[in-house]
Every structure is written in C-alpha cells, then in structure tokens.
Structure 1
Amino acid sequence: MTTAFQRSESTKRRTLLKGAALAAGVPMVAGLAGGVAAGSAQAAESDQLPEFAPVPAGALGPAVNADGYYVGRIGGHLYWVTDGFYQAMFLTTVEGVVLVDAPPTIGGNLQRAIDDVTKDNGMPSKVTYMIYSHSHADHISAAGLFGKDVVRIAHTETRRLLKLERDPNRPLPTVTFDDHYVLEVGGERLELDYHGPNHTQDNIFIHAPTYQTLMVVDVLFPGWVPFKNLAITRDIPAWVKAHDIALDYSWKTLVGGHLGRLGVRADGELQKQYIADLDAALRDAMDTVDSTPFFAKYGPAGNGWAIFKTYLDAVIRQAAEPVTAKYTGILAAADVFTLDNASVLLESLRVDTGFLGKYGIHP
C-alpha cells in the first residue's frame, strides 16, 4: 500500500530529478522546461561550462531505478543503497533493521529500499537501530524520518557536535562510545571503532566481520579521486593515516559513503598511491619552482601575499599536472579535483610537517 508520505516523497524525487536534468542541459518538453526559449538559454549556458575527461566505466555503479535509488545485497542480511551520489548501509534482523547513516539525498528512498528487501526475506522493515558514521549533515540529516523510538549510536564527539547544531533532522544519539562498541542484535554483529580524527574529529569505522565489509565514510572513494580539498578534511595527516587504518581491517567490500559503487581492497591501494604521487610531486615542485619572478614583480611594492600566492599557485600547478595526466582514465575526476587536492596537501606539508623545500632550515 502506498502511503501519503510515500506519494509526497515520490513527487519530490521526480521534481528533483527534473531539476537535475534541466541543470545538466537535458532536453525536456516545453510544458516542463518553460518552452523552447528557456531550453535554448539553458543549452547556451551549458555550452559555456568546462569539459572534463570521460568517467571510466569501472568507476560507475549500478543504474538507479525509476524512483532514483539502487539497493543491493552485500552478503547475507547486509545491504547497501545508493542514489549514485551518496550511500548508506543496513542490516536486517529478526529484531528490526540496523541502518548506518541516512543521507538526505536518498531520503525517503531509504525506507523504500528497506521495504524492497524485507518483503522478500521476511524480516521486519522497521528501523530500530541507527548508527551515525559522523556528524555531517550530508550523511545523516534524513535520520529524523525514522521517528523517536530508534536507538541511535554514535561516537561521544558526534553527540557533542550535534548538541551544538540543534538540528531536528539529526536527532541526538542515545548511545555513545569513546573507543570501541559492539552492537549485537538479532544474531548479527557490527563493530564500531574510533581511531582518532580523520575526515572529521568524530568519524568512525563500522566493521561487519561476518560479511567481510567495512564502512568508513569520506576517506576512500572507490574508482574516483577524493572529493574537493581531500574531502574537505581539516586534519590532513590524520586523514592520510586513515588509509592505512582502513586497510589494516579484514574486509573484501568497502562502503565509502559516496558515489555509485562499492569498493574492493585494490581501490584503497590505488587511492593511497594517488596521494603518495601527489605528495612526491609537491615536494619536487617546492624544490624546483623558481620564485625569483614573483619576488621581482611584487617585492618592490612590499606585497608579500602576492608573492606567496603566485609562487604557491605555480607549485600546485606543476605538481598537479603529471598526477592528473597519470590518473585520467584510471580514477574518475582526476582532472576535476587534483588541483584542489594538491592545494590542501601542499598547505598540510608546509604547516603540519614543516616541509618548506628550499626555504626550510637545512643543516
């Protein structure tokens, strides 16, 4: 039976998809797109947007259905759901569903995905437990859709951050932990670990050992380069370290929280190599880019910021160019975000590790 809530959510989903199609320059009928003139104007705007390299086929996940989501089995009673941009994971048990994260872009389709699965496996469809990977709204702000009688589990720091936010769409955790927590429900088991800051100061690792699956969000991006500014991470050294922590776990399947496919261990190793190559290229550029022209042009006016900007921009460009070339066609969006990723990694090298190239202290 389709409820009023489901009909409303479905209408909103179709509206969102139509808007996305318009934004992408996809032709639509005059009644939806505002007529031929509006379509022509949007096409003209689209023609002015930059061109990027094709997405490698291996980076793409399964096609979403007409409602805008895909749900698949990882193994046994463990499943994942995606809208092509975000991911969540859930475990069906005889005592209800354990949902890990609730991205708002998936929204009401989370319950639809759960219903799709439980109608076939005979398990209850009600979400009784929810785990927050971390506090960021883009991963958990559909949590409020599941009512108040849900046991919500998160790191202690997540609760502190959410108390500050006071966001009704992100209800406070009811159970918190500091280092390690084991959730055993309905004969199933999930292990939650905190290894210190990485993408955020509260981001945790969710391990399903029975199914050889690890969920860690905003660290590994299977098939793609990391999102802008190394996933908008503040503690870059801790984020880099998290790659090794993730690979120390025993797993065959990774739920990374973003984009349209699951990961395998080779994805983790490939991203590690991408970061290592970018690090090496930045160190080389810091040693080899000649800063003389920047001092000559801006130094007489005393514009120190102009000197720094133009010098650092030159270092970033020199470092990013070979890395972009190497990974284009291998990792999706290498030409989209490598320059941004090089920029934040350079700042981390300078201020976190003290690497200043030829401008550092040399014994």
Structure 2
Amino acid sequence: MTNRPERIESATRRTLLKSVALAAVVPAAAGLLGGPLAGSATAAEPDPLPDYAPVPAASVGPALNTDGYYVSRIQGNLYWVTDSFYQAMFLTTREGVVLVDAPPTIGRNLLRAITEVTRANGMPNRVTHLIYSHSHADHIGASVIFGKDVVRIGHTETRRLLLLDRDPNRPAPTETFEDRYVLKVGGERLELAHHGPNHSPDNIFVYAPAQRTLMVVDVLYPGWVPFKNLAVSQDIPAWVKAHDVAMAYPWQTLVGGHLGRLGVRADGDIQKQYMADLDAAVRNASATVDPTPYFEKYGPSGNAWAIFKAYLDAVARQAAEPVTAKYAGLLAAADVFTFDNAFALLESHRIDGGLLGPFGIHP
C-alpha cells in the first residue's frame, strides 16, 4: 500500500458525474432500441421526484472531510471509516492492518483513512489481512486495490459464490471457515462466526472482544429503518432471527456496514421493535383486507397477476401506514421503505410461513 494514494473526486462530485452520464446514456439507449417503446408517450414529462420526511438529527453521522470520508477510533486500535453510505472497519497492529470489507463507494479513501491513522500512531500501514463480511459487491467491490499479497478471509460459501461470479474486483478468499475462525495478528484478536444464512447465505459476524465491537452487515441499521425489502435479504425468517443473534453478543458498539454513524444497543432494541410492529401489522392486514374487489375487478379478464398485485399491495399499504406513523421522526426513512418492507414480510409470511390468505387451499 502506498503512503500517498492518488486523489479521487468527492462523493458529491462522483454522484453528479454519474447523473450526467446517465442523462446522456438514456437517450442513446432509446435510439439503439429504435425510439420510444411501443405505446409510450413520445414527449412524456418525467414524474416529479417525491418529497420525504426530514432525516432525524439523531440518525445523522459525523461530517465528512474534503476527500469525502470520515475515519475515527472506536476503541484501542480499532477504527471505522464511512462515506455516509457504507462503512468499513480496520484494526491496526504492530504487524500490519486488518481490514473488514472494502466498499467501492469508499474505494481508495480506505487507503487514505488507513494512512491517516497509522501515520498518526506510528503503526505499519500495509493491509495484511482483508476479511469479507459476505460476497456482495457493494461491500467488497474495492478489495482488488489491496493487491495479491493480502490474506483474504471469508466463509466457505463466500469463496464458492465469488468463484462463480468471477469478478476481478472481488478475488475469492484464500482462507475460509465453516462455523468459527479466530484471527490473531500483532497482539490483536477478531472472532469470526457464521450463524447460518440471513441477509445472504454467507453473511458473517465479526466481533472484536477487547473493544466490545460487533460488525454485522445488512442486519441492523442504526437510526434508520432497514433498506428496501428488508435489506433485500435472501432468507427473511433467518434475517429476522439474526437480530437476536446480534443482540446476544456483548457489544457496546455496532458497525452495521451502511449509512453514516455507529450503533449502540438501543439501536438494536428499536429495530427489533420496528420489526415486531411490522409483523403484527402485516398479520392484521392479511386478516382484514377483503380480497373480493380485486377478484371482481380483474378476475373476468383472467388477469391473475393484476389480482395478486392489487391485493398484496393493498395489504402491504394497510400494514405500513401505522408503522410509518409510529416511527416517523424516530427512524430515518420510515416513509421511504416501510411499504417495501411490509411487502417483503408479507411475501415471506406467504411463502415461508404458509400465511396464504385468499390464495390458500381451495374449499
């Protein structure tokens, strides 16, 4: 790792450039497809962007520096870095740096953050070990910048998935484990554990016992509601159970992998309550929304998908309303993703739990 990584644009500038590029690409793509899609308006005005509730002050993280990142000590030799969208964690040791995740939105700012910290403390700045929380590109897509000599550690399923993906930016782990793995480097210790699938089949828990800090990604979202569709998790029941697994660790500080601030135990408690309220609301809506109008409207035409969509959307909407109202001003983006989260939980109840409602066993 170089001590003077090349400079890159700030997060704001990168976002602006992407927007400009997208504006240029969309018309060009339409031309390649032979113009507007059949049946579409030729000069349709774009839908106005929706307005959302302000982000509560307690949900906002620290301000970024001019390079577009923030780095700070958690405790002892353990640090975290964020760009307000994603987070990584690193441990400085007398033998080198252990990094957990390499989100591409932070990218080479990871090098800057590590250099900033190690220079100030007279520690080696070379990353010797890189731990993958799971295989998803949005969390480890910048791992390539640490070169071929770094020891990459992940779950066996992470290695299998990355070998299938064949993404040059995400080299597969060189060291793997099934259930538990203890990493000791330069007098420091990290405990890795796989408690079964949750957000993804391979998502692991990384615990720093000396610093009482847990990093688990895409499960708990301090200060915010979970991302769309319950973090687009592949196993919703296991993802819900992962909340209890996380809270069973004796952590004081949580690195959740997303957004701009660290978590405390109260954040875990409130997300568990959010999920309990959402579950109750989904079950109530499933029992009370009358499916008759949707069958009457779309049944005669044989449009089965219209029946499903209209009915399931109605159930999710009814479930989301009281939960959104309760957590508005308490959890950021309650009005952004609660409907999507209600829909995802409803689908899980139908598919995983057998709560089929009007689509159950025909009398």
Partner of 2:281 in structure 1? 281
State the shift of 1:112 in Å. 0.5
State the shift of 1:290 in Å. 1.2
Map 1:315-334 to 2 at 5 A. 315-334=315-334
Map 1:45-84 to 2 at 5 A. 48-84=48-84
State the shift of 1:357 in Å. 4.2
Contact 1:135 1:161 in 2 (8 A): yes
- Structure 1 counterpart SS, 2:130: strand
State the shift of 1:252 in Å. 0.4
Q: Give the Cα–Cα distance (whole angstroms) in 2 for the partners of residues 298 and 206 of structure 1.
A: 50
Letter in 2 for 1:49: L
Partner of 2:143 in structure 1? 143
Partner of 2:255 in structure 1? 255
Residue deviations 1:21-46 (CA, integer Å, cap 9, x gap)? 989xxxxxxxxxxxxxxxxxxxxx99
Runs (4+) off by over 3 Å: 11-15, 17-23, 357-362
Letter in 1 for 2:244: D
Partner of 1:298 in structure 2? 298
Partner of 1:28 in structure 2? none
Partner of 1:192 in structure 2? 192
Contact 1:214 1:255 in 2 (8 A): yes
Q: Give the Cα–Cα distance (whole angstroms) in 1 for the partners of residues 216 and 239 of structure 2.
A: 11
State the shift of 1:298 in Å. 2.0
Partner of 1:6 in structure 2? 5
Change (3 A) 1:127 1:357: same
Partner of 2:24 in structure 1? none
Q: TM-score, normalised by structure 1?
A: 0.89
Unaligned runs of 5+ in 1: 24-44
- Structure 2 counterpart SS, 1:153: strand
Partner of 1:355 in structure 2? 355
Contact 1:53 1:335 in 2 (8 A): yes
Partner of 1:113 in structure 2? 113
State the shift of 1:13 in Å. 5.7
Residue deviations 1:76-102 (CA, integer Å, cap 9, x gap)? 000000000000000000000000000
Contact 1:287 1:358 in 2 (8 A): no
Q: Give the Cα–Cα distance (whole angstroms) in 1 for the partners of residues 46 and 126 of structure 2.
A: 43
- Structure 1 counterpart SS, 2:8: helix
State the shift of 1:19 in Å. 3.4
Letter in 2 for 1:6: P
State the shift of 1:309 in Å. 1.7
Letter in 2 for 1:316: A
Q: Give the Cα–Cα distance (whole angstroms) in 2 for the partners of residues 304 and 16 of structure 1.
A: 43
Q: Give the Cα–Cα distance (whole angstroms) in 1 for the partners of residues 132 and 248 of structure 2.
A: 22
Contact 2:79 2:90 in 1 (8 A): yes
Task: Give the stretch that moved more between structures: 353-362 or 51-60.
Answer: 353-362
Partner of 1:235 in structure 2? 235
Q: Give the Cα–Cα distance (whole angstroms) in 1 for the partners of residues 210 and 176 of structure 2.
A: 23
State the shift of 1:54 in Å. 0.2
Letter in 1 for 2:5: Q
Letter in 1 for 2:343: S
Letter in 2 for 1:351: I
Partner of 1:37 in structure 2? none
Task: Give the stretch that moved more between structures: 270-279 or 64-73.
Answer: 270-279
- Structure 1 counterpart SS, 2:263: coil
Contact 1:14 1:67 in 2 (8 A): no
Indicate the structure with greater helix content. 1
Q: TM-score, normalised by structure 2?
A: 0.89
Partner of 1:16 in structure 2? 14
Letter in 1 for 2:17: G
Residue deviations 1:299-356 (CA, integer Å, cap 9, x gap)? 2333332222211111111111111111110000000011111111100001101123
**1:131 and 2:131 aligned:** yes
Change (3 A) 1:302 1:264: same
- Structure 1 counterpart SS, 2:294: helix
Task: Give the stretch that moved more between structures: 352-361 or 313-322.
Answer: 352-361
The percentage of counterpart residues that share the same residue type is: 71
- Structure 1 counterpart SS, 2:210: helix
**1:180 and 2:176 aligned:** no
Contact 1:207 1:213 in 2 (8 A): yes
Contact 1:283 1:357 in 2 (8 A): no
Partner of 2:34 in structure 1? none
- Structure 2 counterpart SS, 1:210: coil
Contact 2:9 2:67 in 1 (8 A): no
Q: Give the Cα–Cα distance (whole angstroms) in 1 for the partners of residues 16 and 288 of structure 2.
A: 49
Residue deviations 1:143-177 (CA, integer Å, cap 9, x gap)? 11011111110000000001011111111211000
- Structure 2 counterpart SS, 1:338: helix
Q: Give the Cα–Cα distance (whole angstroms) in 2 for the partners of residues 54 and 89 of structure 1.
A: 28
Change (3 A) 1:358 1:57: same
Change (3 A) 1:229 1:17: closer
- Structure 1 counterpart SS, 2:342: helix
Q: Give the Cα–Cα distance (whole angstroms) in 2 for the partners of residues 11 and 351 of structure 1.
A: 45
Partner of 1:31 in structure 2? none
Q: Give the Cα–Cα distance (whole angstroms) in 2 for the partners of residues 47 and 283 of structure 1.
A: 33
Q: Give the Cα–Cα distance (whole angstroms) in 1 for the partners of residues 9 and 72 of structure 2.
A: 24
Residue deviations 1:111-144 (CA, integer Å, cap 9, x gap)? 1101111111111000001100000000001111
Partner of 2:161 in structure 1? 161
